[in-house]
Amino acid sequence: MTVFADYAPWYDLLYQDKDYAAETSFVEARLRDHGVSSGKLLDLGCGTGLHALAFSRQGWNVAGIDLSHEMIASAKARAAQAGLSIPFRQGDVCATGPERDYDTVVSLFHVASYQTSLDALAAMFRTAHAALKPGGIFFFDYWYGGAVLAQGVETRVKVIEQKPLRLTRIAQSDHDEQAATVTVNYTLFCEDTDRATIHRVDEAHHMRYWFPFEVEAALRQCGFEPAGSHAWLSDAVPNTKNWAAYSIARKAAQS
Ligand SMILES: C[S@@+](CC[C@H](N)C(=O)[O-])C[C@H]1O[C@@H](n2cnc3c(N)ncnc32)[C@H](O)[C@@H]1O
């Protein structure tokens, strides 16, 4: 079963508290720090398109790719409803596509941690590399290993009420320290409180946590010059308090 197939219809509701506009501004500021402030932007693993639309509203010429048909369908519907022309396509970011001459490539909300081997991570980096102009900037985030190991995994429950819907998500995680992976077993109970119906969805998400040293080595192998790794939404070094880190890299001018 494709991951995010059954999960997709509930995705935006589950993350309604995530501030996509603020995250987009943060990423734009980091891109500006590295000399890129406008032009063509490719979103790898764009999901339902929330960052892509935010970038488009800021004037970027945006395209997006995602593995999940359901997430891409949602992104297309959202762009059409907003009157924005954003080419979204279903595809694997680990397979180099036709995209070329981008000023920047972004990959946000842990897409790099859905790549659970070094080969898959490098394949994703090669897709970004092929899409970028020489000198272009790649920005992406991932689960930071130091924080995952320090904090450990635990079962989490999230309840969201949006009448008449009540969504209860249980996330039970299995940690394999030798493989540096965490399998998050999601169970969603989707209730219609008016009709007294309940629908259950089960999906396992296999994730890999990374350390900046291994991410940066893979970037170099793929023709990038790493330009820093930090804790998410900050300029601090990755640290045990924050599961998310981001890295920035420049496509070497000669590669
Ligand atoms: C947590 S979601 C993030 C979606 C979006 N970037 C956001 O910020 O809301 C992770 C996304 O990565 C996509 N994904 C994971 N592996 C992928 C791959 N190999 N190729 C394309 N998309 C992938 C999933 O389908 C999913 O939409």
Domains identified in the chain, total number: 2
Residue 190 in domain: yes
d(CA 125, CA 33): 21
Residue 3 in domain: no
Does 221 lie in the same domain as 191?
no
Residue 153 has pLDDT above 90, yes or no: yes
Residue 41 in domain: yes
Residue 238 in domain: yes
Residue 1 in domain: no
Does 172 lie in the same domain as 76?
no
Does 152 lie in the same domain as 234?
no
**Of 63, 61, 249, residue with least CA distance to 141:** 249
Does 121 lie in the same domain as 38?
yes
Is residue 128 within 8 Å of 106, Cβ to Cβ? no
Average pLDDT over residues 230-252: 97
Does 198 lie in the same domain as 127?
no
Give the position, in ligand 1's atom list, of the atom nearest the Cα of 15: 9
Q: What is the pLDDT of residue 2?
A: 65
DSSP class of 49: S
Q: What is the pLDDT of residue 152?
A: 95
Q: What is the pLDDT of residue 121?
A: 98
Give the position, in ligand 1's atom list, of the atom nearest the Cα of 50: 9
Q: Domain with 202 in it: what CATH number? A: 2.20.25.110
Q: Domain with 65 in it: what CATH number? A: 3.40.50.150
Using a 6 Å CB cutoff, which residues line ligand 1?
A: 4, 45-47, 50-51, 65-68, 71, 92-94, 108-111, 114
d(CA 55, CA 59): 7
Residue 183 in domain: yes
165 compared with 29, residue with greater pLDDT: 29
Residue 2 in domain: no
Residue 244 in domain: yes
Does 20 lie in the same domain as 127?
yes
pLDDT-derived band at 255 (thresholds 50, 70, 90) equals low
Does 38 lie in the same domain as 118?
yes
Q: Which residue has the tokens 């130091």?
A: 146
24, 78, 111: residue to mutate for ligand 1 pocket, most atoms within 8 A of CB: 111
Q: What is the pLDDT of residue 70?
A: 94
Protein residue with least CA distance to atom 17, ligand 1: 67
Residue 1 has pLDDT above 90, yes or no: no
Average pLDDT over residues 189-210: 93
Give the position, in ligand 1's atom list, of the atom nearest the Cα of 108: 6
The boundaries of the domain holding residue 197 are: 147-208
Average pLDDT over residues 124-132: 98
